[in-house]
Amino acid sequence: MSVSRLRDSVERWLIHEGLSFEAIKSTENTFQILVKHAGQTGIPVEIFEPKGQPGILVIGAKVVMKNNQIARYLGFNQQEKENFEKKVTNFCHSIQVINKNIAEDGKQKIGVYVVLDDKENINQQTVFDAIESVSEKHEKTSRFLLKTF
């Protein structure tokens, strides 16, 4: 699928499902869309195609750490931060999701991502299955942080 065809398809599927979304400017991605309320929990979900990986679709959501968790994390030394990040990564791998620690808008966030890389099988059903999966994994990661941190 060409760049514009992939983006056009994703936008058409979102409209078909009645989801509101907006394009986000990104230097790292060919295109990036923010779906405002997606999945069973109605969380914001990002859908994007990384510039270096044409035809790959990444669907993800960010778990925003609570203020007391952020304060605790920021008080960590480098070793404690690495240990925490390793614990989060191990958990995310156990639920089969890719994660990334992000500092954004003055908050610490854990991004959870599902990658669709089978170009022939990226369709409306696989995209919405991935959105549901990300929504579920976002919820599990949020609960994990509450229990362990």
The predicted model gives 129-148 an average pLDDT of 95
Instruction: Supply the mean pLDDT for the chain.
Output: 93
Measure the CA–CA gap between 54 and 87, rounded to whole angstroms.
Answer: 31
Task: Name the residue among 41, 34, 44 with its Cα closest to residue 10.
Answer: 34
Q: Please tell me the pTM assigned to this model.
A: 0.90
Rounded CA gap, 56 and 17, in Å? 22
Query: Order of strands, edge to edge, in the sheet holding 98-104?
Result: 21-23, 29-38, 43-50, 57-64, 107-116, 98-104
Q: For 86-105, what is each residue's pLDDT tens digit?
A: 999 999 999 999 999 999 98
119 secondary structure, DSSP code: G
Q: What is the mean predicted confidence (pLDDT) over 122-129?
A: 95
Q: Which two tokens stand for residue 93?
A: 């791998």
Please state, for a pLDDT cut of 90, what percent of the chain lies above it: 86
pLDDT in tens, 53-69: 999 999 999 999 999 99
Report domain extents, the chain: 3-148
Q: Domain 3-148's class?
A: alpha beta
pLDDT more than 70, % of the chain: 98
**With 80 as the cut, is the pLDDT of residue 73 above it?**
yes
